[in-house]
């Protein structure tokens, strides 16, 4: 009796030690946490978590610079509009691998889905701290405000989060060694991929379509009937660029996991170049669409050449396109031509910054441009966004350290879909 009980406890301890503490004792594990990254993250959280608590205790008025005239700010601009735009790596990868037959990209699918899932999850967390009545978040699904573009966004974000969870679940069940569930997940996999892809096209464009209601409140250089499609195309290269950055960092940080796996440094560079090619095409499509959009605005008299050439907004628009679109487009193109993965990585950083500048311009710079009071985020808003991003990176690290994300377990060979 006694002996059995002890064994059971032992098994439990060893499971915990094995799965959660990565095979270390509690003392060893805690000591292993003291790394430069973790110390910085802890410092951010030490300030950021109380700031969030303050927001929930005292309200948006006490913690943000939001006002009746500027009801939207950094938490929507950064966490929701930018965060979601660069979290499409998972979508791009599953479409490429499972629908377009680029099976050579399989090693990148799981990290891409994890990045995407966490990106969406923390975008919704950002929304939750921004919502006045965060506790009422499910209400739209009870009242069904289908006349609203935002309903489409909410519905699709919610469903797509679940889809990404299902897409990532194989890594979780492999970690927990649940063979039966893994086999069942393989069966529903392709359905999840197709449904997820439809949802991404829906909500990414819908995020842009939200601004169709604001022809006077959004600056004419950013208001465009093309805005749903501009948002969708930019999320494609945003997602790819983020994916390149993520794989670059993962391979530096988690390189020890990749010993004996098939993707070598050279293979990784090839994949990066391939992604750079795709991103360059998307950037070019975006550039063309943006040019058409501006030409249309000029032709319709929404703004004049004077707005474009002689106002701060005009110059800022040039910068957005020049730095955020044209520069990464050429960096990618040269990277592909010279087979230079390093240049592709540099291009990715510029491209992601470009998407961020664009979303900030729409949500914060261009919006309410003619209002008497302009918006600038409070330090608590900046801290809140930084905190959520930090938690996101920590969760990513926690999962990649434990689950088969970058590598595959020998017990679970890849199923050909």
**Which parts of this chain interact with other proteins (CB under 8 A)?**
56-62, 64, 66-69, 71-72, 95, 98-101, 103, 127, 130-134, 136-137, 139-140, 142-145, 147-154, 190, 193-195, 197-198, 201-202, 205-206, 209-210, 212-217, 225, 228, 367, 370-371, 416-417
Q: Nearer Cβ to other proteins, position 24 or 274?
A: 274
The Cα 318–Cα 324 span in angstroms is: 9
**Which two tokens mark 105?**
């990209």
Q: Nearer Cβ to other proteins, position 89 or 96?
A: 96
Residues 49/380, Cβ–Cβ less than 8 Å: no
Backbone phi and psi for residue 218, each to the nearest 5 degrees, phi listed first: -100, 135
User: Least separation, in Å, of the C-beta of 18 and other proteins?
Assistant: 33
| DSSP characters over 61-130 | HHH----SS----HIIIIIIIIHHHT-THHHHHHIIIIIS--GGGGGGHHHHHHHHHHHHHHHHHHHHHH
Q: Nearer Cβ to other proteins, position 164 or 205?
A: 205
Instruction: Give just the sign of the alpha carbon dihedral 239, 240, 245, 246.
Output: positive
**Which two tokens mark 178?**
């649940």
User: Least separation, in Å, of the C-beta of 279 and other proteins?
Assistant: 20
Q: Nearer Cβ to other proteins, position 228 or 347?
A: 228
User: Least separation, in Å, of the C-beta of 414 and other proteins?
Assistant: 10
User: Least separation, in Å, of the C-beta of 58 and other proteins?
Assistant: 6
**Which two tokens mark 21?**
């503490």
Task: Return all residues near 39 (Cβ < 8 A) that are at least 6 apart.
Answer: none
Q: Nearer Cβ to other proteins, position 133 or 180?
A: 133
Q: What percent helix, strand, coil does the chain show, rounded to 5? A: 75, 0, 25
Closest listed residue to residue 236, CA positions, set 267, 197, 290: 197
Strand partners, 367: 218
Give CA torsion, residues 403, 279, 309, 221, to 10 deg.
Answer: -60
Q: Nearer Cβ to other proteins, position 167 or 246?
A: 167
Q: Nearer Cβ to other proteins, position 224 or 358?
A: 224
User: Least separation, in Å, of the C-beta of 198 and other proteins?
Assistant: 5
User: Least separation, in Å, of the C-beta of 229 and other proteins?
Assistant: 10
User: Least separation, in Å, of the C-beta of 148 and other proteins?
Assistant: 4
User: Least separation, in Å, of the C-beta of 124 and other proteins?
Assistant: 12
Q: Nearer Cβ to other proteins, position 8 or 213?
A: 213
């Amino acid at each position: 009796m006694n002996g059995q009980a002890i064994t059971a406890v032992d098994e439990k301890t060893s499971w915990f030690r094995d799965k959660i503490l990565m095979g270390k004792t509690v003392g060893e594990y805690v000591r292993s946490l003291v790394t430069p990254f973790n110390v910085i993250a802890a410092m951010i959280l030490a300030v950021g978590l109380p700031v969030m608590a303050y927001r929930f205790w005292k309200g948006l008025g006490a913690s943000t610079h939001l006002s009746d005239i500027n009801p939207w700010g950094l938490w929507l601009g950064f966490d929701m509009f930018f965060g979601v735009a660069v979290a499409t790596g998972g979508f791009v990868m599953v479409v490429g691998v499972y629908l377009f037959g680029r099976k050579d990209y399989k090693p990148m699918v799981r990290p891409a889905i994890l990045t995407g899932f966490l990106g969406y999850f923390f975008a919704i967390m950002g929304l939750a701290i921004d919502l006045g009545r965060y506790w009422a978040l499910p209400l739209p699904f009870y009242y069904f405000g289908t006349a609203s573009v935002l309903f489409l966004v909410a519905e699709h974000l919610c469903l797509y989060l679940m889809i990404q969870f299902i897409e990532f679940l194989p890594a979780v069940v492999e970690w927990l060694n649940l063979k039966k569930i893994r086999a069942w997940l393989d069966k529903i996999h392709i359905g999840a991929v197709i449904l997820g892809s439809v949802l991404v096209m829906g909500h990414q464009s819908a995020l842009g379509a939200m601004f169709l209601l604001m022809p006077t409140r959004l600056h004419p250089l950013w208001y465009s009937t093309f805005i749903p499609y501009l948002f969708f195309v930019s999320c494609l290269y945003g997602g790819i660029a983020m994916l390149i950055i993520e794989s670059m960092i993962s391979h530096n940080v988690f390189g020890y996991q990749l010993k004996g796996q098939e993707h070598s440094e050279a293979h990784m560079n090839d994949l990066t170049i391939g992604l750079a090619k795709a991103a360059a095409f998307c950037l070019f499509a975006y550039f063309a669409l943006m040019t058409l959009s501006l030409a249309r605005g000029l032709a319709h008299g929404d703004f004049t050449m004077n707005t474009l050439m002689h106002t701060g907004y005009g110059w800022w628009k040039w910068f957005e396109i020049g730095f955020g679109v044209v520069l990464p487009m050429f960096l990618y193109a040269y990277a592909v031509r010279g087979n230079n993965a390093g240049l592709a990585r540099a291009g990715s950083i510029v491209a992601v910054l470009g998407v961020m500048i664009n979303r900030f311009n729409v949500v914060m710079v261009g919006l309410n441009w003619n209002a008497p009071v302009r918006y600038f985020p409070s330090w608590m808003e900046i801290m809140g966004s930084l905190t959520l991003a930090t938690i996101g990176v920590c969760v990513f690290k926690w999962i990649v350290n434990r689950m088969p994300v970058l590598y595959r377990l020998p017990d679970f060979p890849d199923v050909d879909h």
